[in-house]
């Protein structure tokens, strides 16, 4: 095949966008690529080995950890520690941030936050799952252990973010603040190859993604928006199509390519929302803005939120700009009493 550009080659080509990184960011993304290939291998044989189902423990959010959650967390953590560009990680599967104490790691400039396996409960039924990652420059002194403040930075300070989707094909999608690029894994080559350069999301879409089973618990503004989506207005291409997979990465990826909106509002059970700001919302918000879309908590830009805790939750509305602004309008018009 002519003109194949692998992820490694593409990153090297784009290094001029980050002269201060001296190749370190490229090596860090290489670590993520390696761990993704290992996790992809296990996911593809999940039905053949004893790696599906619950691990028997709960994470700090009180959610049952799946065996693949634990496996993916350990593989990404080990890959990131091995390359010496990362001084520590924070993960949805870890109670606290984890510092890497080898001398070379203490001198590293970056921290990584991640959801190692988003949607892992879908593994048993062969539905797409993913990995989400977010990269920041540390703010603590180089040479010392990382501090919690390194991880509690607003999303606007991200230097890179992305996700891996393990589906009918495996793709890695990332941004370093200069557009969004997607790479499809070719198992015959063992490489991620450029397949989607400069990905952009349409300003409008006809897909809305939300768990409508929680409808009765939604804020009034969200209920009004859902009814708006369901109204028959042919000249506006309504009613819209409802598509909800239940894996954030899968829903986000489809809407990025086709145009649409993903909604996870506050509910009675989760008054602050359910999705994690640091591991899910910030990286997806960075990606969507780089693709020409929008991400808010319904009232403010996600990337402007100053985190106060590692596992902080927020409501999340992300996707095509006009659709996100429409739901924001309904939330302003119908504030809950």
Distance CA(11)–CA(5), nearest Å, equals 10
Confidence of residue 179 (pLDDT cuts 50, 70, 90): very high
> 92: annotated binding-site residue?
yes
Proportion of the chain above pLDDT 70, given as a percent = 91
Torsion angle in degrees (nearest 10) through CA of 65, 71, 74, 75: -150
Predicted local confidence at residue 281, as pLDDT? 98
> 118: annotated binding-site residue?
yes
Positive/negative CA dihedral, 165, 77, 118, 112: negative
Predicted local confidence at residue 11, as pLDDT? 85
As a whole number, mean pLDDT of residues 183-203 equals 95
Cis bond before residue 63 (omega within 30° of 0): no
More confident residue, 11 or 224: 224
* Beta strands at 261-264 and 207-209: parallel, antiparallel or unpaired: parallel
Question: In sequence order, what are the residues at sequence separation of 6 or more whose Cβ sits closer than 8 angstroms to the Cβ of residue 236?
Answer: none
**Partners of residue 86 on adjacent β-strands:** 110
| pLDDT tens digits, 71-83 | 899 999 999 999 8
Q: How would CATH label the architecture of 7-196?
A: 2-Layer Sandwich (3.30)
Establish whether domains 7-196 and 207-333 are of one fold: no
> 81: annotated binding-site residue?
no
- Does residue 54 surpass a pLDDT of 60? no
Predicted local confidence at residue 269, as pLDDT? 86
324, burial (CB in 10 Å: exposed 0-12, middle 13-18, buried 19+): buried
- Does residue 231 surpass a pLDDT of 90? yes
| pLDDT tens digits, 86-114 | 999 999 999 999 999 999 999 999 999 99
> 274: annotated binding-site residue?
yes
Predicted local confidence at residue 3, as pLDDT? 79
Pick from 3-17, 123-137, 175-189, 233-247: least confident: 3-17
- Does residue 160 surpass a pLDDT of 90? yes
Cβ neighbours around 316 below 10 Å, total: 25
Confidence of residue 185 (pLDDT cuts 50, 70, 90): very high
As a whole number, mean pLDDT of residues 13-20 equals 70
> 266: annotated binding-site residue?
no
- Does residue 59 surpass a pLDDT of 70? no
Confidence of residue 19 (pLDDT cuts 50, 70, 90): low
Predicted local confidence at residue 88, as pLDDT? 97
> 120: annotated binding-site residue?
yes
- Does residue 66 surpass a pLDDT of 80? no
| pLDDT tens digits, 296-314 | 999 999 999 999 999 999 9
> 188: annotated binding-site residue?
no
> 63: annotated binding-site residue?
no
pTM: 0.93
> 94: annotated binding-site residue?
no
Positive/negative CA dihedral, 82, 86, 88, 89: negative
- Does residue 336 surpass a pLDDT of 80? no
More confident residue, 14 or 203: 203
Q: Are 323 and 240 in contact (CB under 8 A)?
A: no
Question: In sequence order, what are the residues at sequence separation of 6 or more whose Cβ sits closer than 8 angstroms to the Cβ of residue 49?
Answer: 42
As a whole number, mean pLDDT of residues 267-290 equals 95
Assigned token pair, 139:
């703010």
As a whole number, mean pLDDT of residues 151-175 equals 96
Cβ neighbours around 337 below 10 Å, total: 4
Predicted local confidence at residue 258, as pLDDT? 97
Predicted local confidence at residue 290, as pLDDT? 98
> 119: annotated binding-site residue?
yes
Q: For the chain, which residues make up each domain, given as ranges?
A: 7-196, 207-333
> 244: annotated binding-site residue?
yes
Q: Are 243 and 260 in contact (CB under 8 A)?
A: yes
> 215: annotated binding-site residue?
no
Q: Which residues of 170-209 are buried (b: 16+ CB within 10 A; e: fewer)?
A: bbbbbbbeebbbbbbbbeeeebbbbbeeebebbebbbbbb
Predicted local confidence at residue 69, as pLDDT? 87
> 270: annotated binding-site residue?
no
- Domain 207-333 -> CATH class: alpha beta
Confidence of residue 288 (pLDDT cuts 50, 70, 90): very high
> 126: annotated binding-site residue?
no
């Amino acid at each position: 095949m002519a003109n194949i550009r692998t992820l490694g080659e593409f990153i090297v080509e784009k290094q001029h966008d980050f002269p201060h990184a001296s190749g370190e960011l490229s090596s860090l993304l290489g670590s993520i690529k390696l761990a993704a290939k290992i996790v992809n291998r296990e996911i593809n044989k999940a039905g053949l080995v004893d790696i599906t189902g619950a691990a028997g423990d709960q994470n700090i959010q009180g959610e049952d950890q799946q065996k693949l959650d634990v496996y993916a967390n350990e593989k990404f953590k080990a890959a990131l520690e091995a390359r010496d560009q990362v001084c520590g990680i924070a993960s949805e599967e870890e109670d606290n941030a984890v510092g890497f104490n080898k001398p070379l790691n203490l001198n590293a400039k970056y921290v990584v936050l991640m959801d190692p396996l988003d949607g892992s409960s879908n593994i048993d039924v062969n539905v797409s799952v993913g990995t989400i990652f977010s990269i920041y420059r540390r703010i603590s002194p180089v040479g010392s252990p990382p501090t919690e403040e390194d991880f509690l930075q607003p999303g606007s300070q991200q230097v890179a973010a992305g996700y891996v989707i393990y589906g009918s094909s495996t793709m890695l999608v990332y941004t370093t603040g200069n557009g969004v690029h997607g790479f499809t894994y070719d198992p015959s080559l063992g490489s991620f190859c450029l397949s989607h350069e400069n990905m952009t999301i349409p300003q409008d879409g006809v897909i809305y993604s939300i768990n409508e089973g929680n409808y009765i618990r939604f804020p009034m503004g969200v209920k009004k928006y859902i009814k708006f989506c369901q109204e028959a207005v042919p000249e506006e291409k309504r009613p819209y199509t409802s598509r909800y997979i239940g894996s954030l990465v899968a829903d986000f990826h489809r809407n990025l390519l086709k145009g649409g909106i993903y909604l996870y509002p506050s509910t009675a059970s989760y008054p602050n929302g359910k999705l994690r700001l640091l591991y899910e919302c910030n990286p997806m918000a960075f990606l969507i803005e780089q693709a020409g879309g929008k991400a808010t908590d319904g009232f403010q830009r996600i990337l402007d939120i100053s985190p106060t805790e590692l596992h902080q939750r927020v409501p999340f509305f992300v996707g095509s700009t006009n659709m996100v602004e429409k739901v924001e309008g309904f939330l302003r018009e119908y504030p809950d009493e």
